[in-house]
Amino acid sequence: MAKPRKTSPRTPSSPQAAKPEIMSGAAVVLRALKDQGVEVVFGYPGGAVLPIYDEIFKQNAIRHILVRHEQAAVHAAEGYARSTGKVGCVLVTSGPGATNAVTGLTDALMDSIPIVCLTGQVATHLIGNDAFQEADTTGITRPCTKHNYLVKDAEKLAEVMHEAFYVARSGRPGPVVVDLPKDIQFADCPYTNAKDQEPKSYRPQVKGDDSAIEKAVELIAKAKRPVFYGGGGLINAGPKASKLFGELVRKTGYPATLTLMGLGAYPASDKQFLGMLGMHGTYEANLAMHDCDVMICIGARFDDRVTGSLAGFSPKSKKIHVDIDPSSINKNVVVDVPIVGDAATVLEQMLAVWKAKSYKPDEKAIASWWRQIDGWRSRKCLAFKPGSKEIKPQQAIQRLFEKTRDMDCYITTEVGQHQMWAAQYFGFDEPNRWMTSGGLGTMGYGFPSAMGVQIAHPDALVVDISGEASFMMNMQELSTMRQYNLPVKAFIINNQWMGMVRQWQELIHGKRYSESYSEALPDFVKLAEAFGGVGLRATKASELDDVIDEMIASPHPVIADILVTKEENCFPMIPSGRAHNEMILSPSDQEQQTITDKGMALV
Amino acid sequence: MISTNQPSARHTIAVLVANEPGVLARVIGLFSGRGYNIESLTVSEVDEVNARSRITIVTSGTPMVIEQIKAQLARLVPIYDVHDLTMEGPHVGREMALVKIRNAGEKRIEALRIADTFRARAIDSTLESFVFELTGDTGKIDAFIDLMISLGEVEVSRTGVVAIARGEHVQMPLVRKAKSTRRKTKKAAED
């Protein structure tokens, strides 16, 4: 087994190269973080990272947030990254520290969130010996990271640290693990600021192919029933991408829909916005997708939640797909004009071509397309009857939205019915305001994620729209909130069910509600108080507004326990295995729609 | 254009990767994790200076799956280059097999005769067995093994396919360290 080489100061090989400073591996780690502009690290100490914690102790440039569980550290870093556009940074120990981080890493991979996760590792000579708190971290995290490194050579530490940040943020962003054996953290390592050095093998294509773009813009200009379909790639490409997307959508006057991950990339309040699409998307968005003749997909990946049955997916359309990741193209749906590139850059190129060729949309056709869409809109698929006594879950979220509309507000969610209702009833007019676990669907994501958002935006209102079951998955972070006085609000849509599980059991499993009841719930008000926060509860409609007001006004962490109608289902819904034009809009539709055997096997 | 209902076909893909720990696991993990086939996989270093290895993978799938495999490979960080030799033009592919056959009498003579037609060489022999060395494309080796099976008890060790594009263009040049730093290699064997 290779021993880490102790390096002694030596003369640089070329006269131009700066003489590297020699410092301990742990100091190199901190220095690299600083040079990468990292302001905050979410972490949890342990034996294998003590030298790094010792360095953290000695400095003030980087703030460390001590979480209560490593999974929460990664979700917090995700919230931080998603709301700022920066790389989120995590520090955990070897063995259980690393394995606890795996869910967060997988979540970040699925949603393309840039994370650098530093994991401690046993000393290099012990690797493979089943040492105490040893786990094959690079082996375990290989399929759940964009890339990972095991640093066995002290000389390469600085380079690996900088490359990790480059890989995490470049191209399609994602999580990167750097596994740091304890002896490397002690070893003398040379430090050079290799911040701008790109690895030779990884150079994602940023600019789109000109001829493909011309072809795409021509197709867009000639469309009669077009629809823009934007996704999380618009958010990842920075606020500029959303701005350019808005510009193109307005210039053309075409309708636009967004995926769950893309919400905020186009203002929800704009009349050209059709709402979210997909399994719980709006009637108008899904039918527009189904009936369109030109689909312009930017930074979305034709996920199964979006497409429904692939056989029935938008059968009549020519499809343009812009994605920075070539492997997203033609993966699920075959497209006519693939364009590999960064969303912002490609949109800029598209707008330039639109202007240069002075294209004009086919106004007559577009007007008639809008008439058809308005017909679908008039179904008012998101309408619900607010309860006079009981609080409807939709009503709770709608009131929260109305009361926070003009505030500097960030929303995170957990996973389930409340997540879909939040996506449907909370309108986002800006990118980076909405943090949710889309790809992996991780219950327990929202609360720690909100913590990361609050760290990044100390003066903003940060609300985790939660369910009572999801909340219990990472509620230990209440203690972190208290420690750092983070006034995160947990807005629990409490229906005493794992609502989405219950809904599927109702629709598919003959109302046999197997293990989906939230039995033995804690008193959330007392729970908040036990952790030094504020607990509030609304049990009837008349109390809702007051509780929301009080929650918003509180300078402390708050749990607002909103007791809602228990058996409410989330509509509209495309049953699994069905196409966009086979939506269930209401409980009465549900009786007629049966789910096929094939659909039952899908999740 | 690619469509969803085209038939499955066999492709030989050459991949230039960083010669670093874990790179093979990344490639294999990609195939198993995404449910792609690996029919054979070979790897060896081709660039000593920049530490790069060439992996030759034989896989099969519909055109859509093959496109996915190539895109998924290309986005791995330590991968420099991906070439679909089957798509890009004529190429030659060969594998080597060591075939041990245990038999006696007439069948033993027949095995030798067939080996001769296939230009397989006997590289080990006992009174009851031969080990044949055979090089060729996959089809030739399959055919040879099929014949051997009917003549006795057979054990096979195959290298998997190595392949290279035809013509003068060098896709992944061999780079060696300066002679003095290289380990002395034995003089080339008789062939």
Other residues' Cβ atoms within 10 Å of the Cβ of residue A491:
27
Find the CB nearest B71 among A150, A171, A326: A326
Within an 8 Å CB–CB cutoff, is residue B31 touching chain A? Answer: no
For B67, the closest of A172, A325, A330 (CB atoms) is A330
Judge contact between A299 and A234, C-beta under 8 A.
yes
pLDDT for position A591: 59
Interface contact B5, partner A, CB < 8 A: no
* Residue B138 distance to chain A (closest CA, Å): 30
Q: Per the structure block, which two tokens stand in for A416?
A: 């389930």
C-alpha span between A490 and A476 (Å, rounded): 13
CA–CA distance, A429 with A406 (Å, rounded to integer): 11
The residues with which A123 forms a beta bridge, in sequence order, are none
| pLDDT range class, residue A5, cuts 50, 70, 90 | very low
Cα(A291)–Cα(A433) distance, rounded to whole angstroms? 31
pLDDT in tens, A354-369: 999 999 999 999 999 9
* Per-residue confidence band for A67, with pLDDT thresholds at 50, 70 and 90: very high
What are the pLDDT digits (tens) for A155-203?
999 999 999 999 999 999 999 999 999 999 999 999 988 776 777 789 9
Question: In which residue are the tokens 């690299």 written?
Answer: A32
Instruction: Give me the pLDDT at residue A307, please.
Output: 94
The stretch A569-583 carries a mean pLDDT of 91
pTM of the model: 0.93
Predicted local confidence at residue A232, as pLDDT: 97
Please tell me the distance in Å from B67's CA to the nearest CA on chain A: 8
Confidence of residue B20 (pLDDT cuts 50, 70, 90): very high
Give the per-residue pLDDT at B179: 72
Q: CB of B167 within 8 Å of any CB in chain A?
A: no
pLDDT band at A603, cuts 50/70/90?
confident
Q: Which residue has the tokens 């979480």?
A: A67
Q: How far, rounded to the nearest angstrom, does the alpha carbon of residue B64 sit from its chain's CA centroid?
A: 23
Percent of chain A at pLDDT exceeding 90: 90
- At residue B1, the pLDDT reads 57
Q: How far apart are the first and last CA of chain B?
A: 46
Q: What region, left, alpha or beta, does residue A511 occupy, with left being phi > 0 and alpha being psi -120 to 50 degrees?
A: left
Residue A264 has pLDDT above 60, yes or no: yes
Report chain A's terminal Cα–Cα distance, integer Å: 46
Please spell the DSSP secondary structure of B148-191, one letter per residue.
HHTTSEEEEEE---EEEESSS--SS--B---GGGSPPPPPPP--
Query: Cβ–Cβ of B22/A171 closer than 8 Å?
Result: no
What percent of chain A lies above the pLDDT cut of 70?
96
Looking at residue A335, its amino acid is: V
Which chain A positions have a beta carbon within 8 Å of B21's beta carbon? 150
Residues A51-77 have a mean pLDDT of 98
Q: Higher confidence at residue A90 or residue B185?
A: A90
The predicted structure's pLDDT at residue A417: 98
Q: What token pair was written down for A552?
A: 């918003």
The beta strand positions in A4-61, using DSSP E, are: 21-24, 40-43
Six-digit token pair at B54?
């060439």
Q: Which residue has the tokens 């063995």?
A: A95
Residue A434 neighbours by CB under 8 Å, 6+ apart: A263, A264, A410, A411, A412, A426, A428
Phi, psi dihedrals of residue A85, rounded to the nearest 5° = 85, 0
Is pLDDT of A559 > 60?
Answer: yes
Q: Return the structure tokens found at A51.
A: 């030298």
**Cβ-based burial of A211 (10 A; exposed 0-12, middle 13-18, buried ≥19):** exposed
pLDDT confidence of residue A596: 72
Radius of gyration of chain A (CA): 25
Answer whether A346's CB lies under 8 Å from A244's CB: no
Q: Which amino acid is at A556?
A: H
A10/A21 Cα distance (integer angstroms): 10
- Residues A396, A393: Cα–Cα separation, whole Å: 5
Residue A7's pLDDT is 42
Burial B63-86 (b: 16+ CB within 10 A, else e): bbbbbbbbbbbbbbbbbbebbbbb
In this complex, which of B18, B29, B71 lies closest to A143 when CB atoms are compared? Answer: B29
| Chain A residue closest in CA terms to B16 | A201
Residue A592: per-residue pLDDT = 62
Which of A31, A428, A466 has its CA nearest to residue A263? A428
At A90-143, the pLDDT tens digits run: 999 999 999 999 999 999 999 999 999 999 999 999 999 999 999 999 999 999
- Alpha-carbon gap, residue A192 to A202, rounded angstroms: 21
Q: Catalytic positions of A, please?
A: 70, 132-133, 182, 500
Q: How far apart are CA A275 and CA A450, in angstroms?
A: 24
Closest chain A residue to the Cα of B66, Cα to Cα: A331
Helix runs in A434-580, H state only: 446-456, 468-471, 478-483, 499-508, 524-530, 541-553
3-state secondary structure of A496: coil
Under a CB-based contact definition with an 8 Å cutoff, are residues A392 and A568 in contact? yes
The predicted-structure confidence for B142-159, as pLDDT tens digits, reads as follows: 999 999 999 999 999 999
* DSSP code, position A144: G
Longest dimension (CA), chain B: 58
Which conformational region is residue A133 in: left (phi greater than 0), alpha (psi within -120 to 50 degrees), or beta? Answer: left
pLDDT averaged over chain A? 94
Angle between helices B138-149 and B106-117 (to 10 degrees): 170
Residues in B closer than 8 angstroms to A330, CB to CB, are 2, 64, 67-68
Q: What is the CA radius of gyration of chain B?
A: 20
Cβ atoms of residues A345 and A206 within 8 Å = yes
> What would the mean pLDDT of A541-561 be, rounded to a whole number?
97
Q: Is A139 on the interface with B (CB under 8 A)?
A: yes
- SS3 for A25? helix
For position A238, what pLDDT does the model report?
Answer: 97
State the best of A330, A335, A336 to mutate against chain B, taking most chain B CBs within 10 Å: A330
* A203 close contact with B: CB closer than 8 A: no
Tell whether omega for the bond before B173 is within 30 degrees of 0, i.e. cis: no
Q: Where are the beta strands (DSSP E) in B48-147?
A: 52-61, 79-84, 91-102, 121-125, 129-136
Among the listed ranges B58-62, B165-169, B177-181, which one has the minimum average pLDDT value?
A: B177-181
What is the DSSP secondary structure assignment for residue A31, as one 8-state letter? H
Q: CB-based contact (8 Å) between B68 and chain A? A: yes
Q: Collect all residues with Cβ–Cβ distance below 8 Å to A58 and sequence separation of at least 6.
A: none
A143 touches chain B (CB under 8 A): yes
**The pLDDT of residue A10:** 41
**Which has more pLDDT, A260 or A589?**
A260
Query: How does pLDDT run across A447-486, given as a tens digit for each residue?
Result: 999 999 999 999 999 999 999 999 999 999 999 999 999 9
Question: For residue B37, how far is the Cα from the chain centroid?
Answer: 15
DSSP state of A279: T
Which residues of chain A lie closer than 8 angstroms to B77, CB-CB?
Answer: 146-147, 167, 199, 201-202
> What span, in angstroms and rounded, lies between the C-alpha atoms of B57 and B41?
4
- The stretch B58-73 carries a mean pLDDT of 96
Distance CA A105, CA A154 (A): 25
The partner residue sitting opposite B68, judged by closest CB among A143, A150, A327, is A327
Whose tokens are 């195939």? That residue is B31
With an 8 Å Cβ cutoff, is B67 touching chain A? yes
Tell me the pLDDT tens digit for each residue of A40-55: 999 999 999 999 999 9
DSSP string, A304-353: HHHHSSSTTSSTT-EEEEEES-GGGTTSSS--SEEEES-HHHHHHHHHHH
Distance of alpha carbon B137 from alpha carbon B38, whole angstroms: 17
Instruction: Give the tens place of pLDDT for each residue, A70-89.
Output: 999 999 999 999 999 999 99
Token digits of residue A281 = 């998307």
Which phi and psi angles does B118 have, rounded to 5°? -85, 0
Gap from B50 CA to chain A (nearest CA, Å):
10
Element (H, E) at A599: helix A597-600
**Distance between CA atoms of A346 and A323, rounded to whole angstroms?**
9
